[in-house]
Amino acid sequence: MKLAAARQTMRIKDLKSTGYCVEFDDTTAKTYGRSSFESTGSEFWVENDVVFVKTYVIIPNDLQLPKNMAKRFRSRVWSPFLKYLNDPKENFVDYFAGGVVGLFKAKYNPNGTTLFEVVEVYKEKVPSMSTGFVRCTPWTLEYVGRNMEATCLHDSKHTLALNQYAIVSDMACQIGNCFVAKHRNIGGNEEDKKQGINTYCSYIFNRELGVICWIYPIEVRFLFDHKDLENPENQKLDWMLRESLLSKKAHFWDCSLGRVEIYPRISKVILEKIESHHKNLSRVDRNKLKEEAIVVVVVARVHKNWLENFEIYPEHGVFLAHHVRRIHYLDGERLIFKP
């Protein structure tokens, strides 16, 4: 009933939060936050002043995760609408294998870590066609983020970006980022200009085709990994010395932009903000969050030496991180820093 009363005192369209809010009616669940979606097949009701929900849930497949992630997420029951749930009797684990979407009944019973508790699991089979959004779990997002380089360079020998002799279908549909418009065409000049070649052109970057024809500032994100920015042991040093030891080769990978460079100026901002956040946490929160994945959102721009860099790509990126937009935890999007 407290939930119902809270819902009646606010208007969803006025919701301003870095978290999320879920609205249930008898047949539909709607979630509001950075990304909003709606799902039918969910139910919500109140019995003896206790709130009950019937909706979708999933647990991780431990065999498909790295050992450190499998240990951290093992048997954790998750729903896109209710987030993590308490399953004290392991009802869901007993009926469903990891990675399989199921239906369950839960009651509102906060315990300091979760808000809802699993009380019953429905054995009916859930159609996979309409529940793909349930599989967009915290462990899936973290796994994808930590393997972005391998994803970007997968089958790279068959892409024009790295192999000028690769054969690419002219029927394939490609998406690119235009990073400069009306730039002097390096493929022709005033003295030796072929018919049909324009003096100016635009350049576009595509991860598979490379620079094909020129991005304005674009927001991209990556998972924070301390050792990519510096030797973690340097954290004990004074910043006067520590800054000079920051990695000059730090970078991350993005599905659209490929390799993106992170220079020491940006690395310092990221490290300072995360360390300041950790110092302000309670000891309990510090221990609980020390292994949680952190997302860094930056604004990327074209490198001034984009053409030279592309000639040695992927040893150096065509784009660089220009400034930090925000930093937050992957799971739950709890804010760490926002200028």
| pLDDT for res 262 | 97
- Written as six digits, the tokens of 69 are 């992630």
| pLDDT for res 256 | 79
Of the two residues 210 and 305, the one the predictor is more confident about is 305
Instruction: Give 305's pLDDT tier (boundaries 50, 70, 90).
Output: confident
Q: Which residue is it, tokens 């100026």?
A: 265
Q: 157: helix, coil or strand?
A: helix
Mean pLDDT score, 289-312: 87
Residue 115's nearest CA partner among 36, 22, 26, 194 is 22
| pLDDT for res 177 | 62
Compute the distance between CA of residue 141 and CA of residue 136 in angstroms, rounded to an integer.
Answer: 7
From residue 236, give the alpha-carbon distance in Å to each of 232, 233, 267, 279: 9, 6, 16, 14
| pLDDT for res 318 | 86
| pLDDT for res 154 | 63
Neighbours of 191 (CB within 10 A): 5
| pLDDT for res 141 | 87
Residue 157's nearest CA partner among 165, 148, 149 is 165
Question: Is the confidence at residue 191, as pLDDT, over 50?
Answer: yes
| Residue 139 CA, distance from chain mean position | 11
Mean pLDDT score, 83-111: 84
Mean pLDDT score, 40-67: 85
Mean pLDDT score, 114-142: 81
Q: 306: helix, coil or strand?
A: helix
Instruction: Give 284's pLDDT tier (boundaries 50, 70, 90).
Output: confident
Mean pLDDT score, 156-179: 58
Sequence-distant (≥ 6) Cβ neighbours of residue 164 within 8 angstroms: none
Phi, psi of 43 (to 5 degrees): -135, 155
287 touches 245 (CB < 8 A): no
Q: Which residue is it, tokens 């407290």?
A: 2
| pLDDT for res 16 | 41
274 touches 328 (CB < 8 A): no
Among the residue ranges 6-20, 119-133, 319-333, the one predicted with the least confidence is 6-20
Question: Is the confidence at residue 70, as pLDDT, over 80?
Answer: yes
Instruction: Give 2's pLDDT tier (boundaries 50, 70, 90).
Output: very low
Which percentage of the chain shows pLDDT scores above 70? 67
Mean pLDDT score, 153-163: 60
Sequence-distant (≥ 6) Cβ neighbours of residue 213 within 8 angstroms: 176, 201, 202, 203, 204
| pLDDT for res 81 | 83
Residue type, 262: I
| pLDDT for res 222 | 95
Mean pLDDT score, 192-216: 58
Mean pLDDT score, 87-111: 83
Sequence-distant (≥ 6) Cβ neighbours of residue 87 within 8 angstroms: 75, 77, 93, 117, 118
Q: Which strands, in side-by-side order, build the sheet including 200-206?
A: 177-184, 200-206, 210-211
Mean pLDDT score, 303-307: 82
Question: Is the confidence at residue 208, as pLDDT, over 70?
Answer: no
Strand pairing of 210-211 and 258-261? unpaired
Compute the distance between CA of residue 217 and CA of residue 35 in angstroms, rounded to an integer.
Answer: 22
Task: Please return the burial class of 47, using the count of CB atoms within 10 Å of its CB with bins 0-12, 13-18 and 19+.
Answer: exposed
Residue 294, strand partner residues: 329
Neighbours of 275 (CB within 10 A): 12
pTM across the whole model: 0.58
| pLDDT for res 10 | 39
Of the two residues 123 and 277, the one the predictor is more confident about is 277
Among the residue ranges 50-59, 96-105, 265-274, the one predicted with the least confidence is 96-105
Compute the distance between CA of residue 102 and CA of residue 79 in angstroms, rounded to an integer.
Answer: 10
| pLDDT for res 42 | 75
- Helices (H) and strands (E) counted in the chain, each on its own, are 10, 18
Tell me the HSE value of 311 on the side-chain side, using a 13 A CA sphere.
3
Question: Is the confidence at residue 337, as pLDDT, over 90?
Answer: yes
Of the two residues 11 and 38, the one the predictor is more confident about is 38
DSSP symbol at 99: T
| pLDDT for res 150 | 76
**Mean residue pLDDT across the chain:** 78
